[in-house]
A and B are shown apart, each in its own frame.
Chain A
């Protein structure tokens, strides 16, 4: 007798659905887009990585669209030294730097067989900020050096304010720390009374809460409430002859095997659209030179 195929009911043995096999299969299917997703890991300077690079990444992602698969851009801004270390170790595609490389770092890269390239993407002015209640309007670069090297401990040495000076600085992983040292202190080291903060925002916050405070931040943070920017040697931070300007870089290893995402991102940053984003965030545009 021909038995028509029956729907399984309680009297026939249904092959047991192995749920865990199904789960694994679904899981694998879900990770496939992840595996084929393009990924860009960017680590380094807080000056670049706090606002500018995240915004560049966002605009870049929306322009690129999803036709070539999803794109994840991971940004970790813990200081330029972390950017250099991760590019040298191969854990990041692009390093964000707010200072040039040192001789030892170039030598270390050569020893590891890397071919590093520094690309200037923007320029920054370091603004010297004091608490809004401090009447001082400006100072010479000599006085600035005296404050941060510890030669001067009290505002009475520079003005008529009888308050001790609290100098806030970034910490040593920061490129801004090194850049300020090179621009303002020359070969001298910071004094041991400086307090090492982790980011521009933290310095701005602390200076706004301490009457005798002084600190240095990137141009974008110079207008925060409770603080005031000083003129250095008579020039404000936006003037062309301001002494404390420095270039900001992307660091790459030319030899690292890459999809073209990294090149496209850098090209986007240097394009007019990217540079307009740079100026919108209170940075100065990069000087145009051959990469």
Chain B
């Protein structure tokens, strides 16, 4: 190409080149703008449609059925605790190495065996009652979906007409459960810790039944034609604790389990990747010799060449199982959360994401350290400081903003990662229970990216589920935007700090 200005072809040719380059830049910006526009456009119909869906849920009586169901689930919580006690008792008996007939007797004809065996089953009439109401409400809901009008008044009447029978049912439940507790001879429970817990459960059972009247008041006050407020809809999305689709009853699109899952996994990844990434960068940039530098730097940067799906496959097949086998070793039994039950959990996904984040953090930290003006380092050496002292007292504090920017960009990378979390995180749509301590690290979680990937094949164009997925995508986009903006501002701060030294 001849761009010699003395030739007549040069001027139009260079103008053409200029237009091509300008065009490429414009095209990129245009594509970005199109994507952002479409993201907003497809998700904008979500809240009106969700509000309509919740209104149907309320009008068809499913909300009322859910109020009944809450009574049942509170009862089941008590049974969960009771079963935990039974599990603990079994483990206690197993440690005593009894003979099989003794074990059998202790488990099935001990003082607590009737309580353990029958507590949950006393609630069967309650469960059947709720089922009957639910079938009715679902039928009304389906009729509504097919376009028929439903009369809220008729539904309310049907649901509440046998409230007396319902109250009687709850009374019977109270009588039966209290009798089960009373039939346990308190003196014969071994060990004393178990006795205390059984007594505490008995009291919780009493409290549960004492709250019967407020519950009935709520049922009486329920109004199926009360309009659904916009605030409720927005709250149901951003603070909803359930994401349920393909349900017979009602599809709930609650962001919270997905958001907390994403953040949890990303946090684990960043906590693992930051010491390794920043540490390696400090080592390679400041402390390593030539040969080590030539080996380590390309090696760490090569990790970014691994495709995410390969890493995910590795995680499913090898890594999860390896961690689980490791947790079963005698050596580790003192740790409270070992051994691990599920192979696919937040930690597995987090550890593999850390692998993906390390090259990003490493490269950017190294750049930040490299950008520190050589005059500062020279001055430090001139004053007699060692490499280590210069590194930790001069260079790193100077590159602080750049390092923070690197870590933030690593965080941004992992929060958007899809394949690894879809394959390795376990896919349980539930907010991780941080109250159970470190064992929450090994709970399966689901993430925003994983959920979009998992469900995008099943949505019909334009329906509520479709828009809900776009809303999740929008939230992800905003989070990414905020992280990137913050990272950029830190990087800018670093650049300006270094420029100040030029004088």
- A residues near B (Cβ < 8 Å) are 78-79, 81-82, 85, 88-89, 103-104, 107-108, 146, 150-157, 160-164, 166, 171-173, 177-178, 181-182, 186-190, 192-198, 206, 209-212
Contacts and interface: CB of A to CB of B under 8 A. Distances in A.
A81 B446 contact: no
B458 A85 contact: yes
Contacts of B94: 162
Given A156-B86, A162-B88, A81 B458 contact: yes
B145 A103 contact: yes
Given A107-B146, A206-B343, A81 B246 contact: yes
A101 B221 CA distance: 37
Nearest to B134: A187
A196 B458 contact: no
Nearest to A149: B76
- 9 A-B pairs with the lowest CB-CB distances in the bound complex, closest first: A81-B458, A173-B458, A162-B87, A156-B87, A172-B246, A82-B457, A162-B90, A196-B427, A157-B83
Contacts of B461: 89
A162 B91 contact: yes
Nearest to B328: A211
B341 A154 contact: no
Interface of B: 76, 79-80, 83-84, 86-88, 90-91, 94, 103, 107, 120, 131, 134-135, 138, 142, 145-147, 242, 244-249, 257, 321, 324, 341-344, 426-430, 444, 446, 454-455, 457-461
Contact of A78 (B79, B87, B342, B457): B457
A108 B426 CA distance: 33
Contacts of B79: 151, 157
A181 B76 CA distance: 20
A138 B348 CA distance: 32
Dominant SS among interface residues on chain B: helix
7 contacts: A107-B147, A154-B80, A156-B86, A188-B134, A196-B427, A196-B454, A210-B343
Contacts of A187: 131, 134-135, 138, 248-249
Given A153-B80, A172-B455, A108 B145 contact: no
B457 A81 contact: yes
B342 A210 contact: yes
B345 to A, nearest CB: 9
B452 to A, nearest CB: 12
Contact of B246 (A103, A156, A164, A177): A177
A170 B341 CA distance: 19
B82 to A, nearest CB: 8
Nearest to A191: B430
Contacts of A172: 245-246, 455, 458
Contacts of A194: 428
B324 A209 contact: yes
Contacts of A88: 460
Nearest to B91: A162
Given A85-B458, A173-B457, A189-B248, A195 B120 contact: no
B246 to A, nearest CB: 4
B275 to A, nearest CB: 30
A192 B429 contact: yes
B167 to A, nearest CB: 23
Given A154-B87, A162-B88, A209-B324, A192 B458 contact: no
Contact of A195 (B84, B135, B444, B459): B444
Nearest to B246: A172
B344 A206 contact: yes
B341 to A, nearest CB: 6
Contact of B120 (A89, A157, A162, A189): A157
Given A157-B86, A195-B428, 7 more contacts: A79-B458, A152-B120, A155-B87, A156-B87, A172-B246, A196-B427, A197-B427
* Residue among A154, A177, A178, A197 with max Cβ neighbours from chain B (10 Å): A154
B297 to A, nearest CB: 38
A191 B248 CA distance: 14
A279 B142 CA distance: 37
Contacts of A211: 341
Given A81-B458, A171-B427, A192-B242, A164 B146 contact: no
A171 B249 CA distance: 17
B341 A164 contact: yes
B87 to A, nearest CB: 4
